[in-house]
């Protein structure tokens, strides 16, 4: 049976590659015509959206999803999250939508969440998209308590069958470098490389520090001799840096001759940024 198609992750996730699903599908289809891809390794799996997409398009391949942030645990607990949101929705049924929640209401909501916390699991990231200002996230009770809450509770529950989103994937949880070293010499391996962007707010990720330039350059080492689909943005100057190092210090530029697909996001009439997807294949020609 073909996999159900998810164009977005079934639960909120900051930085998911929803805008690249279509180009990524196109690239995988093109590659599968000429290359013998046996394994896809999603080194920075995040929400698993790219792993899910790879398995859907290449069902015969082994697909490894590095669930560094524990997204699959959030999915396993989606019914509990729905129950919690249903109760919060009921508590706020007469409260105006999108408005700041008063202290009185806030304490009742927090008491309900605290009760859930004692039962063992609260998905704070999903709660954030219902109770915080757009694009603000918290990851624990204390942060939620010290935040201003808004009534942005979703009217519909999340998909309880979403566990099938991970169907067929091999889920692991480790540092990307460890995973890379495990697979780097495997024939027919394609690495999907979507690290946190430089200067991105990585607060909701397990790794809660900003990614430094050195972290980023370490990822470039991984690309050196690999087949990859790599994601970055014009907000990080990485591509420019690689070009500069090539011209001035004769250091090989992994993006030279790579195929590039882009997606433009306009913030307002004066400013925009461009997300980029680079694909480079250096081996695994299909026997004709």
Ligand X SMILES: C[S@@+](CC[C@H](N)C(=O)[O-])C[C@H]1O[C@@H](n2cnc3c(N)ncnc32)[C@H](O)[C@@H]1O
Q: Which of 15, 23, 168, 188 binds ligand X (CB under 6 A)?
A: 15
H-helix or E-strand spanning residue 126: helix 124-131
Residue 194 binds ligand X (CB under 6 A): yes
175 is an interface residue for ligand X by CB under 6 A: yes
Q: Encoding tokens for residue 283?
A: 């081996």
Residue 207 engages ligand X in binding (rule: CB under 6 A): yes
Residues 222-251 close enough to bind ligand X by CB under 6 A? none
Three-state SS at 65: strand
Closest CB to ligand X among 37 and 101? Answer: 37
- Whichever of 17 and 88 has its CB closer to ligand X, that residue is 17
Number of Cα atoms under 13 Å in the Cβ half of residue 191: 30
Selected from 40, 49, 75, 78, the binder of ligand X by CB under 6 A is 49
Separation between Cα atoms, residue 245 and residue 202, nearest integer Å: 27
Q: Which of 68, 137, 191, 228 binds ligand X (CB under 6 A)?
A: 68
Taking phi over 0 as left and psi of -120 to 50 as alpha, with beta for the rest, 53 belongs to alpha
Contacts with 217 (C-beta within 8 Å, 6 or more apart), sequence order: none
Terminus-to-terminus CA distance in the chain, angstroms? 29
DSSP strand pairing (228-233 vs 259-266): unpaired
Nearest residue to ligand X on Cβ basis:
46
- Nearest CB to ligand X, comparing residues 68 and 255: 68
Applying CB under 6 A, which part among 109-117, 125-133, 144-152, 202-210 lies near ligand X?
202-210
Residue of 6, 10, 12, 17 that binds ligand X (CB under 6 A): 17
| Residues of this chain that bind ligand X (CB under 6 A) | 13, 15-17, 44, 46-47, 49-50, 66, 68-69, 175-176, 194-196, 205-207
């Amino acid at each position: 049976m073909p996999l159900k198609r998810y164009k977005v992750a079934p639960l909120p996730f900051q930085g998911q590659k929803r805008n690249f699903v279509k180009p990524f599908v196109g690239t995988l289809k093109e590659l599968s015509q000429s290359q013998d891809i046996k394994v896809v390794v999603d080194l920075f799996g995040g929400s698993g959206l790219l792993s899910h997409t790879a398995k859907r398009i290449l069902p015969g391949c082994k697909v490894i999803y590095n669930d560094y942030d524990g997204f699959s645990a959030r999915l396993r607990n989606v019914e509990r999250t729905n129950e919690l949101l249903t109760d919060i929705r009921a508590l706020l049924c007469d409260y105006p939508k999108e408005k700041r929640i008063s202290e009185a209401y806030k304490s009742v909501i927090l008491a309900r969440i605290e009760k859930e916390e004692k039962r063992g699991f609260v998905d704070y990231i999903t709660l954030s998209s219902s109770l915080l200002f757009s694009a603000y996230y918290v990851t624990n009770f204390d942060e939620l308590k010290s935040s201003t809450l808004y009534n942005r509770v979703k009217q519909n529950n999340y998909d309880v069958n979403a566990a099938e989103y991970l169907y067929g994937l091999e889920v692991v949880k480790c540092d990307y470098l460890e995973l890379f070293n495990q697979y780097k010499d495997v024939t027919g391996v394609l690495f999907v490389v979507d690290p946190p962007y430089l200067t991105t707010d990585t607060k909701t990720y397990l790794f809660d520090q900003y990614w430094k330039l050195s972290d980023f350059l370490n990822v470039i080492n991984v690309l050196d001799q690999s087949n990859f689909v790599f994601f970055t943005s014009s907000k990080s100057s990485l591509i420019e840096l690689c070009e500069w190092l090539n011209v001035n210090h004769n250091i090989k530029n992994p993006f030279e001759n790579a195929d590039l697909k882009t997606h433009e996001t306009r913030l307002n009439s004066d400013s925009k940024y461009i997300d980029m997807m680079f694909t480079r294949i250096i081996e695994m020609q299909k026997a004709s």
